[in-house]
Amino acid sequence: MKQCQTIPSRLQPHARQGLINPVQWLVGLMALPLLGFSITSFFFADEAEVGESILVQRVDRRDIDVTVIERGNLQSQTNRQIHCMVEDVQRDGINGTPILWIIPNGSDVKKGDLLIELESAPMREALDEQMLETEEARSTKIQAQANYDNQLVVNETQQAAAVLAVQLAELELKMFADKESGTHKLAVEEIKRSIEEINNQILEAQATLALRRDDRRGIESLFKLGYANRNEVRKSELSYLQAEGQYAVQLNKLQTTLATLKRTENYEREMESLRLNGKLETAKRSLQQVERNSQAKLAQVEAILKARTESLKKEEERLLRYTDQLAACKIYAPEDGMVAYAVSRTETIREGVPARYRQHLMSLPALDRMQVQTTVHESDLDQIKLGMKTRITVDAFPDKNYTGTVHSIAVLPEQNSWYGSATKVYATTVLIDDEVTQLKPGMTAVTEIMVDSIPEAMAVPLQSVIERDEQAWVVVKNGQQLAPAKVQTGAQNDSVVEITDGLEIGTEVVLNPRSIIDDLLDDELLNNDLLSD
């Protein structure tokens, strides 16, 4: 849109009122040639003088990076969906299992973190009942199987294992109680050897402490005589303190080891003796129990093996199902990510609301691999290709840049674009190449797609080019005069535009031509009209 400009005083007509007398008319005829010369020089000079507010810049050559800049939102490259896998077993008229607890939306989680806890009481009750039924079926199946699988061999094996457990318990007790090479005696001797070593270390620490004391005194004497500096004195004091500390450590270590010896000789001996005797008695009772069980199994009657086997199979399937269902009442994060509740018009995800079987509850987008979901205007679509590199900045972290790659471009335009039905935009996905931190889904990001690079192009600032009637213009400075110039433009980015024709290197162009371009163009049009007349 052209800006409204005040007509210069030299273009405003001077009004005269009244009749022109013959003398005035004759003087006018005599002055006509001079007036024609003045008008010609006035209108054909379509240049304006340079004012103080005019900013100019010389045309030069530079590399132009052609980019397409679009805004979008961050998304995760991977999005693990979490579903409710608990069936409704309560049969209470409520379609689903109530949610007892759910992690807040937007929380960062690690693999194994608890996400959702569903009501498990009905499932636990059903599992307890099924466990009883399964054990009963297993018991009857074992009884029937005994007649076919040589129950005697099984009983002998169990009895042999129980006898071996008794023998090992007896041997372990005997090995502990041996006064010459028993485990207790060896432990006591080991502690005593440690005490001897500590005593040697104490003697060594004493000698080191005496040596460091002498060194310190010698350094202090040299310092008083001026042959040693303050740092040497401090080093000697530090060495002395370290030796003193080491000596104290060895003394403490000796006291601790002596206490350990006393505990081993007095208390641990009795505790270990009680444990081993109890273990032996338990093994003997286990042997008796094995013998009784074996006799009981042999005494049981034959059962209908096939029927009991199938019955046990069915019960075990139900038990496994209920076990899995109970475990599914607590949903844990399968991987690292951020919690994003599922969005639905008819269902709400919150505590107290029942969750249906296989209902989508939430997603876990991974936060270390992100992408930008943006749109590309239809006018730029032919420039964008898959695999093009991009520069990405996030509004939340404007000082950090990311590199990305164009991953996908939609075939069809967006249906509900906020640009309006007349403008078509196409959904485009740009992957961030490297792993990221601190970025969250939904953050606003600016994607600069690297379309092309033109080296050594004649370029001017973008604001210096004005388009009027589908023709590009610039205002050039010639000395102290300004004049409009037609130019042909090429590629451009957000700061500069390529000039393919109409200018030369070194020409000065106006950076703020909007306030004067219309007056200059009007002057040029008026000059052209006068020339044509």
- 150-195 confidence digits (pLDDT tens): 777 878 888 899 999 999 888 888 877 777 777 777 787 788 888 8
Q: Span 129-327: which CATH code?
A: 1.10.287
Instruction: Report the amino acid identity of residue 361.
Output: L
Amino acid 55 reads L
DSSP string covering 259-284, please? HHHHHIIIIIHHHHHHHHHHHHHHHH
**Cα separation, 451 vs 383, whole angstroms:** 6
Long-range contacts at 8-14 (CB < 8 A, ≥ 24 apart): 8/519, 10/42, 11/526
Distance of alpha carbon 436 from its chain centroid, rounded? Answer: 5
Residue-level pLDDT at 402: 95
The angle, 0 to 180 degrees and rounded to 10, between the axes of the packed helices 305-327 and 121-145 is: 160
At 399 the pLDDT is 92
Specify the pLDDT at position 416. Answer: 60
Please tell me the distance from the alpha carbon of residue 195 to that of residue 184, in angstroms, as a whole number: 17
Q: What is the DSSP letter of 7?
A: P
Q: Which residues pair with 458 in a beta bridge?
A: 61
Say what the pLDDT of residue 49 is. 55
* DSSP string across 478-532: ETTEEEEEEEEEEEE-SSEEEEEES--TT-EEES-GGGTHHHHHHHHHHHHHHHH
CATH number for the domain running over 456-530: 2.40.420.20
**For position 92, what pLDDT does the model report?**
61
Q: pLDDT under 50 in the chain at which residues? A: 1-47
Instruction: Note the pLDDT of residue 43.
Output: 33
- Domain ranges (residues) in the chain: 65-75+364-455, 83-112+334-362, 129-327, 456-530
Beta strand spans in 291-382 (E): 330-332, 337-338, 340-341, 354-355, 360-365, 370-377
CATH code of the region 65-75+364-455: 2.40.30.170
* pLDDT of 108: 86
Distance CA 100, CA 118 (A): 5
Q: What is the pLDDT of residue 240?
A: 85
Do 28 and 449 contact (CB within 8 A), yes or no? no
pLDDT of residue 390: 95
Alpha carbon distance 126, 88 (integer Å): 11
Short-list 344, 343, 337, 342, CA closest to 364: 337
pLDDT score of 42: 33
User: What are the structure tokens assigned to 263, written together?
Assistant: 């505990």
Cα gap 414→512, rounded to integer Å: 38
Number of neighbouring beta carbons within 10 Å of residue 303 = 18
Phi then psi for 20, rounded to 5 degrees? -90, 120
pLDDT tens digit string along 348-384?
889 989 998 899 999 898 888 899 999 999 988 888 9
Contacts (Cβ under 8 Å, ≥6 apart) of 364 = 79, 80, 81, 82, 109, 333, 334, 335, 337, 338, 339, 340
Which pLDDT does position 386 carry in this prediction? 94
The secondary structure element, H or E, covering residue 444 is: strand 444-461
- Reading phi first (left if > 0) and then psi (alpha if -120 to 50, else beta), residue 506 is in left
